[in-house]
Structure 1
């Protein structure tokens, strides 16, 4: 049995460094932070996306999520429109500028993921890692563990 504390340490340190290197590249080449890019990618991939959907996906508080969306809106990348099914919420959609930014930044993101995630290991190992991570994610999500309170 591996040392679980070491596995945890390696996983967290790798994730932090991967997040940082992806963020640095996106900022340098496209003027967008990794967090902004992730929000744009999520919004761009879903019709009827709400702030609450982002908060749930990224396991962050709704207030912080709303402020992040405010910044995307101020940059001209996202717009809010009334939710016809619930007057208390808005639906989020990319603006044309936001779609252009996402389309330009996505290949950079994919290229960096390839360099730092796919290239160092075999295709078989990557497939196994993807499957394992998906199981671990489902486990914490099904338990509703690790969600912010408030």
Structure 2
């Protein structure tokens, strides 16, 4: 039987190490922290998005997300516009500079992930891992207990 606590530890330690390696390389080569890269990827995939949608996707607070968007906006990588459907929120979209930064950084991320993951695991194992992690993530995202705001209400 698999030791789930050991599995959890391995997942967390792997994520931390991969995050640090990717973050350092992106900063050094593109002056783009990994967190900002992830925001740009989400915005690119969704066209225009609300800060709330980014916060939910990244599993962080709206306040932290708003500050991150402020930094991206200051760097000229995104722009905010009024949300015509909801005056309480704004919409965030990539600027041409944001698109350029993301396009330049993607091959760096892919190369680093290939070094640390893709070149280690056989294709079949990698495919199964991707499927399994996606299932686990979907489960976690559908459970309100994984939203830390809900955890402390009990």
What TM-score range do you get, normalising by the shorter chain? over 0.9
* Cα distance, 1:106 vs structure 2: 0.8
Flag the structure with higher helix content: 2
TM-score w.r.t. length of structure 1: 0.96
> Residues 98-109 of structure 1: matches in 2 within 5 Å?
98-109=98-109
Counterpart of 2:93 in 1: which secondary structure? Answer: strand
Counterpart of 2:66 in 1: which secondary structure? Answer: helix
> Residues 128-143 of structure 1: matches in 2 within 5 Å?
128-143=128-143
- Cα offsets for 1:82-101 (capped at 9, x unmatched): 11111111111111111111
Counterpart of 2:76 in 1: which secondary structure? Answer: coil
**Structure 1 residue ranges, 4+ long, deviating more than 4 angstroms after superposition:** none
> Residues 19-98 of structure 1: matches in 2 within 5 Å?
19-98=19-98
Aligned match of 2:7: 7
Number of corresponding residues: 150
TM-score w.r.t. length of structure 2: 0.93
Counterpart Cα distance in 2 of 1:103 and 1:36? 13
Counterpart Cα distance in 2 of 1:98 and 1:86? 25
* Cα distance, 1:134 vs structure 2: 0.8
Counterpart Cα distance in 2 of 1:147 and 1:116? 30
Asked whether the equivalents of residues 61 and 148 of structure 1 are also in contact (C-alpha less than 8 Å), the reply is no
- Cα offsets for 1:6-63 (capped at 9, x unmatched): 1111110001001111111101100010001111111122123110011000110000
Structure 2: runs of 5 or more not aligned: none
Counterpart Cα distance in 1 of 2:65 and 2:13? 24
**1:116 corresponds to 2:119:** no
Counterpart Cα distance in 2 of 1:37 and 1:148? 24
Q: Which has the higher contact order (CA 8 A, sep 6+)?
A: 1
